[in-house]
Amino acid sequence: MSGLGFEILARSGPARRGRIATAHGQFETPAFMPVGTAGTVKAMTVEALSAAGAEVVLANTYHLMLRPGAERVARLGGLHAFMAWPGPILTDSGGFQVMSLSELRRIDERGVLFQSHLDGARHELTPERAVEIQRLLDADIAMVLDECAPWPIEERAAADSMRLSMRWAERSKAAFEPRPGRGLFGIVQGSVYPALRRESVEQLSRIGFDGYAIGGLAVGEGPERMLEIAAATAAALPDDRPRYLMGVGRPQDIVAAVGVGIDMFDCVLPTRSGRTGQAFTRHGVVNIRNARHAEDPRPLDEACPCPACARHGRAYLHHLARTGEILASVLLTWHNLTYYQGLVAELRRAIEGRDFEGFRASFEAERAAGDLAAP
């Protein structure tokens, strides 16, 4: 197999149900990728990830280049062996983390020079180095280096930023070494300006990538505007390549984005929420720390097969969260990831049945009913 394999198996309006084949197996789309920033999805073993239904995970170039170092991971057999995850891995290129976490010293045509948020050491990240790090990690899907523009941003500044990212994308593609079952995604930029997004799509399509990500959204522009830009961008992208909406992870936003033709998602929301006592259910978000759960023996969600729901009631989970027990983070994270994987599985089935709109109506009705207190 040369590069990635992608096939669209069914459609329901713009919504697509597909399959991506990689060097480390295939995964079904729409797909949600749990975020394993530093080579681990927080509070989860790889066995738990598989049990929750995850087929592909995300790791991050920035964090792994700083600790333990890409060359070390390569010497130890690559990221799959290092973290004992046998399935596909997508690695973000690190551009967002460079802009948001580090002290930026320089950004220019060459790349970015920054100080580590860990120890202040100086590092340079160029498009070529970002691709090299992802090759050393042995990512199945690598991302081009891009500049993540701040929000809000004026159109002229957004244009300059986007065009720099497009030049970096061309260099990233030139540096990428094609290997069986591995691919490189371009990233569409342009903030909330439709003309800039169209220009970015045209440039990336000309260069040619195995898939296309939509970046620079969910940064403060609001969900309605985010969906509007995502929909217009997805419609302009090549139909025969996967489409990935970066960093978008509220369940309602995933459903809406699938409805406009997006295939892949990632977000820290389910894992971060699990560590703060928040649980996602068919009826909305449950704050398990609230007093109303203290004597409630019911599971978080009667339909959920995860250990938190199958073995424990809300009262016990409430107790764990209120006393700061580590098990609360484990169980709630496991539950949230099970919910997310169940959601995308239901979306796939709905698209296969040509009934995406029917699924969306029932999804919204269940959420509107809310999480009722125990009788």
Give the whole-angstrom CA distance, residue 259 versus residue 250.
14
Query: Does 253 participate in catalysis according to the annotation?
Result: no
Task: Find out whether 181 and 21 touch, Cβ atoms under 8 Å.
Answer: yes
Cα–Cα distance, 58 to 41 (Å, whole number): 9
**Best CA proximity match to 341, nearest among 141, 17, 49:** 49
**Catalytic residue from among 92, 138, 140, 263:** 92
SS3 88: coil
List, in sequence order, every residue forming a beta bridge with 114; answer none if it has no partner. 104, 123
108 assigned to active site? no
Q: Which two tokens stand for residue 223?
A: 């969900």
Measured between alpha carbons, how far is 323 from 320 in angstroms, rounded to an integer?
A: 5
Contact yes or no for 334/271 (Cβ under 8 A)? no
Beta-sheet pairing, 122-125 with 243-245: unpaired
- The CA–CA distances, whole Å, from 7 to 16, 154, 357 equal 10, 38, 22
> Exposed, middle or buried: residue 118 (CB in 10 Å: 0-12, 13-18, 19+)?
exposed
Amino acid present at 255: V
Residues 6+ apart with CB under 8 A from 170: 207
Q: What is the dihedral of CA 139, 144, 145, 151, to 10 degrees?
A: -110
Which residues 6+ apart lie within 8 Å of 375 measured at CB? none
Q: Which position among 138, 253, 263, 266 bears the catalytic label?
A: 266
Catalytic residues: 92, 266
